[in-house]
Amino acid sequence: MAESDPRIKMRFQFVKGDELKYISHLDTMRLLLRGLRRGAFPLVFSQGYHPHPLLGLSPPLPLGVTSEAEYGEILLREAVPPGEFMRRLNGCLPGGLQLVRAAEADLSEPPLMAVINAALYRAFPEGEEGREALEEGIRRLLERKEIPVIRKRQGKKPSRVDLRPHIFAIRVAGEEEPCLELLLRTGSSGGASPGEILRELPGKEGADGQLPWRLHRAGLYIYRDGFLREPM
């Protein structure tokens, strides 16, 4: 609950580059909050003993993945023109995390975290990889009715998950150097990470447990009735 009436909800899209692909979701949240404080924005705080600004972020980006389409939303007490918001906040953030778009959203709109449910990733194989081999790998993966994996999370019991229903589509793309495009379910109602899927791809097990792919998130979407819609 907010302690003073929020006037506006600012939504923004940001990119996360190579320099910052190794900071976690929580770190990203912290970084944005401190940027907002450095920029002296008129923040709206939650109530309670530890008041905190009301910042929401799109579903977590896996560690080691760059992105051109992350989203955030923050409640402000006073109107700030979106252009100025973006310029001022960018000045308070490092080069590896920068806003590319900002716009006011309706206060009644549901939080991004609740509606974003699809993520598009690009995976670039390290080293030479023939287009045919990739296509064959995908074909065999998608043939499977079930792709069961065991998920281990710190402090929790390992659980068994079927990845197959979380795959919307996978295809080979790229003009000269082939890459994979994976459209996967993400968000609060479950999903799969690109790393999990790629590990199941036949013939591409990495040495040292290292994933032989460079990963990039190219988009986050609201996927409904067969249509992909950008969040803003």
Partner 1 sequence: MADLREVLDKLLAQVQKPARYLGNEWNAVHKEHDSVAVRAVIAFPDLYEVGMSNLGWKVLYEAVNREEDLLLERVFAPAGDMEALMRRWGVPLFALESARPVKEFDVLGFSLQYELSYTNVLNMLDLAGLPLYSSRRQEGPLIIGGGPCAFNPEPLAPFFDLFLLGDGEEALPELLRAWAELTREHSGNRREILAALSRREGVYVPSLYRPLYRGKVFQGMERLDERAPERVRKRVVRDLDRAPFPCAPIVPYTGIVHDRAALELFRGCGRGCRFCQAGIVYRPVRRRSPERLKEMARELLQATGYEELSLVSLSSSDYPEIDALVRDLAAESPVEKLRISLPSLRLDAFSGALADQIRQERRGSLTFAPEAGTERLRRIIRKEIDEGDLYRAVGSAVEAGWKQFKFYFMIGLPGETERDVEGIADLVRRLLDHFAGKKERLRISVSVATFVPKPHTPFQWEPQLELSRVKERQRLLKAAFKGLRSVELSYHDAEASFLEAVFARGDRLLAPVLERAWRSGCRFDGWTEQFSLERWRAAFQEEKIHPESYAYRRYAYEEPLPWDHLSPGVKKEALLREHRRAWEEAQRHGGE
Contact residues toward partner 1 (CB under 8 A) are 18-20, 22-24, 26-27, 30-31, 33-38, 40, 43, 45, 49-51, 63-64, 92, 94, 96, 208-211
In the complex with partner 1, the residue whose CB is nearer, 50 or 145, is: 50
- C-alpha distance from residue 58 to each of 112, 208, 219 (Å): 6, 31, 11
In the complex with partner 1, the residue whose CB is nearer, 39 or 111, is: 39
Shortest Cβ distance from residue 1 to partner 1 (Å)?
Answer: 15
In the complex with partner 1, the residue whose CB is nearer, 85 or 223, is: 85
Shortest Cβ distance from residue 45 to partner 1 (Å)?
Answer: 6
In the complex with partner 1, the residue whose CB is nearer, 109 or 196, is: 196
Shortest Cβ distance from residue 132 to partner 1 (Å)?
Answer: 27
Shortest Cβ distance from residue 26 to partner 1 (Å)?
Answer: 7
Shortest Cβ distance from residue 41 to partner 1 (Å)?
Answer: 10
In the complex with partner 1, the residue whose CB is nearer, 35 or 231, is: 35
Q: What are phi and psi of 222, to 5 degrees?
A: -100, 115
Given a contact cutoff of 8 angstroms between Cβ atoms, the answer to whether 204 and 195 are in contact is no
